[in-house]
A = this chain, B = another copy of it.
Amino acid sequence: MAKSIFYHAGCPVCVSAEQDIIGLIGESNVEVVHLGEASDRIGEAEQAGVQSVPALLTPNGNVLHINFGASLADVKG
């Protein structure tokens, strides 16, 4: 199975969701990207359709926005 990508920004909501997602689909099936640290990947996330974090980009290209931590505008700021 292709990997999913979990985008987050280190907020408490994000960390909690990350643990849940990893528990559900397995650590080896998810790449975790911290957009606060890897700000060079914000453009890639936006292009994929990520509007807020935490969000999970599935292998088939869908974006699941999970709970609500921060908008991408906040992450950029």
Residues of A within 8 A of B (CB): 4, 16-17, 20-21, 23-25, 29, 56, 58-60, 62, 64-68
Q: Check A24/B25 contact, CB under 8 A, given A62-B16, A66-B65.
A: yes
Rounded to whole Å, the gap between the CB of A49 and the closest CB of chain B is 11
Distance between Cα atoms of A59 and B23 in the complex (Å): 9
Rounded to whole Å, the gap between the CB of A55 and the closest CB of chain B is 9
Q: Are the C-beta atoms of A20 and B58 separated by less than 8 Å?
A: yes
Q: Are the C-beta atoms of A17 and B60 separated by less than 8 Å?
A: no
Distance between Cα atoms of A17 and B66 in the complex (Å): 11
Q: Are the C-beta atoms of B65 and A20 separated by less than 8 Å?
A: no
Distance between Cα atoms of A41 and B24 in the complex (Å): 23
